[in-house]
Structure 1
Amino acid sequence: MGTGPNLKSVEDQVIVITGASSGIGLTTARMAAERGASVVVAARSEDSLRELTEEIRADGGEAEYVVADVRNRDDVREIAATARESFGGFDTWVNNAGTFVYGKLQEVPVEDMRDLFETNYWGVVYGSLEAAEHLKQTEDGGAIINVGSVVSDQAVLLQGTYSASKHAVEGFTDAFRMELEEEDAPVSVTLVKPSAIDTPYPSHAKNHMDVETDIPKPVYAPETVARTILFCAERPRRDVYVGSGGKSIQLLGRYAPELADRIIETVFYRFQRKKTPRRPRQWNSLDDASGNLEERGKYDGPVMERSLYTKASLRSALSGAALVGVGLTAAALYLRSKLGRSDGDAGRVREEIRESVDPEDSRLPFPRL
């Protein structure tokens, strides 16, 4: 194996970010610029991109924008060309653009499923291929960071199409990483898997339900994802979960899949449906650009500004077994809160998880709650 890329500090980098007009992409662009990076931001909304670029420049930063639809490979190539023309190239490419659909798979039109995959999967493929072609030709190489989701591992009903697209993103990212490693390319490939994040995601989604959309708690701030992305732009990581909430569900799905299914079927169904009537369906980002420089959504519950679990996993402050233990503890707490169990039931919740896992995995640590 080669020595890998020589990743620069963020302040010395040129960073490309797709889906930069709202949510995680917007937060990451602003944070990168604040830290001194030159940024190339891309999305479909020209007004929003122009305003963002002017904002960054007014604060002393360097930024260029590209109006691009990542479903179009020529548009993606134009993003790379702009980075080369404006800054001589780029060091990190963040594939963040995404679209969203709520509804039962039996009720979502196949045309909407295909459109979602064009952005969420093919947009990542086009971006990754374009980024790798450039980075392999540079002396220091660089980083490709794909934004997946906790549903890359654990599917969620009512977001089945989105879950399937993120499963596909994980499969592509893992295979592409191995290809680049096998040829000793100086490129790190990271998959970032956020938990539920307070972004305009629900209001941007195309909604095929009869009520308004929501996201299940625990909910994290978009800054938690942006910090993780910029960390991985400087230090190679294979994959990272943002938020112990998402990690706990992943662990339940891995070690107790039937139990995870039951929780998602009963709890997540309810928590993704508000009691208010659905807004007009034509207001969605699947069919039209909808970014308007909003980092956060309208989630009306508590939002976690940091994730100690993610910080520990990035810094390798805990061993692998300890991190699993933390995740399983979080899973037990999550189970208890979702099922409305009292503090006195914590042990039984923990045992319910233990009894559901494969016997060969029974030695996994279960810290005291």
Structure 2
Amino acid sequence: MKISLKPLSQQTIVITGATNGIGLATAQAAAKRGANLVLAARNEEVLAKTVRELEESGVRALYVVTDVGRREDVERLAQSAIEHFGGFDTWVNNAGQGLWGRLEEVTDEDHRRLFDINFWGVVYGSTTALRHLKKQGGALINLGSVASDFAFPIQGMYSTTKHAIKGFTDALRRELNDEGAPVSVTLIQPAAIGTPFALHAKNYTENEANLPQPIYAPEDVARTILLAAEQPRRALHIGGAGKLMGIFSRLTPGLVDTTSSFMIKSQLKPEPKRHRQDSLWQAGQDGQVRGDQSFIRRSGYTAAIVNPLASLLVVGAVGVGIGFAVWNKLKD
């Protein structure tokens, strides 16, 4: 079945984890494109502030306090969207949590809670959203990671949750294809992104957690999510470095294994960790799109995915410029 998705200006979009980082960036970008928004997170204060600011700019928005690790919360989120807007066209399972620590050191309780948020939140969101999307069509967008393809030491269970999200999303897409359901299912796979992710993660190590370079802009992820909301896509990577890491992990797994010490060191700063409240078991200090990283870059790889025509024009212009320079040189 050919899947047809509406323009963003005609859509109602549900976004989980909408009070910081990628979720907040996506909400802001979707608002500029004229979409109605249903925002979900655990932090009611920041949710209310975000919706108030959106409404002041002329956007129709609703918030629902939601712990995605509880199915009843997710079902209430969907029902609120239906009651307020008559339904929704795109559902973005973005909510996620980080955890640094060796697998043998992290408690079972913390590991299970991480799975509740990262994996079961996607399962609950997907199966709940599909009851509505299968009737009218639309897009289901799940946030995986470069860690869906590449397992990071001391982020072992986080990587495991993202591997599980990829397996779940691929299997779900194939079942929907078999049914002929009018739903596009997309897996978004960001590399390291300059959000407050590390500040909110639980950290069992003695050092401040660190996202290794290159670190890409959360706005790049938002652009890619909104692309998938309008154009059916199977999977989209953000950041060329992340794409390469997945390729190396498949082609040279033994070589990748030998770099484990380097990978661990690259994820930790030399400074001792600061004691702060993480957001594994409670809402975090939300409200920011970007984190405290010193250098955040825009992804040329992602720009080429989002706007391939513009990229071809740039490449063409560069080629013409080089050709003209060579012609002048030969002429002299």
1:179 aligns with 2:178: no
Distance 1:108 1:146 in 2: 26
2:107 equivalent in structure 1: 109
Tell me the C-alpha RMSD between the 2 structures. Answer: 1.4
1:48 aligns with 2:46: yes
1:201 equivalent in structure 2: 197
2:140 equivalent in structure 1: 144
Distance 1:81 1:54 in 2: 21
Q: Secondary structure at the match of 1:220?
A: coil
| Residue among 261, 266, 275 paired with 2:261 | 266
1:132 equivalent in structure 2: 130
Structure 1 residue 241, shift from structure 2 partner: 0.6
Structure 1 residue 61, shift from structure 2 partner: 0.7
1:312 equivalent in structure 2: 304
- How many residues are matched? 310
Structure 1 residue 259, shift from structure 2 partner: 1.8
TM-score, normalised with respect to structure 1: 0.82
Does the 8 Å contact 2:223/2:306 carry over to 1?
no
Correspondences of 1:25-36 after superposition (within 5 Å)? 25-36=23-34
2:247 equivalent in structure 1: 251
1:284 equivalent in structure 2: 278
Structure 1 residue 218, shift from structure 2 partner: 0.4
Does the 8 Å contact 2:5/2:138 carry over to 1?
yes
Does the 8 Å contact 1:43/1:66 carry over to 2?
yes
Distance 2:114 2:11 in 1: 31
Does the 8 Å contact 1:7/1:235 carry over to 2?
yes
1:363 equivalent in structure 2: none
1:3 equivalent in structure 2: 2
Distance 1:256 1:316 in 2: 30
Q: Find runs of 4+ consecutive structure 1 residues off by over 4 angstroms.
A: 314-317
Correspondences of 1:71-110 after superposition (within 5 Å)? 71-110=69-108
Matched letter for residue 199 of structure 1: T
Distance 1:190 1:131 in 2: 14
2:238 equivalent in structure 1: 242
Distance 1:266 1:248 in 2: 19
Gapped regions of structure 2 (runs ≥ 5): 310-332
Distance 2:101 2:79 in 1: 38
Q: Secondary structure at the match of 2:223?
A: helix
Matched letter for residue 288 of structure 2: E
Matched letter for residue 7 of structure 1: L
Matched letter for residue 280 of structure 1: H
| Residue among 163, 187, 191 paired with 1:191 | 187
Structure 1 residue 34, shift from structure 2 partner: 1.2
Structure 1 residue 316, shift from structure 2 partner: 6.1
| Residue among 276, 279, 303 paired with 2:296 | 303
- State the Cα deviation string for residues 44-72 of structure 1 (Å, max 9, x = none): 00000000000000111110000010111
1:217 equivalent in structure 2: 213
- Identity percentage over the alignment? 50
Matched letter for residue 14 of structure 2: V
Matched letter for residue 312 of structure 1: A
Q: Secondary structure at the match of 2:205?
A: coil
1:159 aligns with 2:158: no
2:61 equivalent in structure 1: 63
Distance 1:120 1:206 in 2: 14
Matched letter for residue 284 of structure 2: S
Structure 1 residue 248, shift from structure 2 partner: 1.0
1:168 aligns with 2:160: no
TM-score, normalised with respect to structure 2: 0.91
Distance 1:119 1:183 in 2: 28
Does the 8 Å contact 1:143/1:189 carry over to 2?
yes
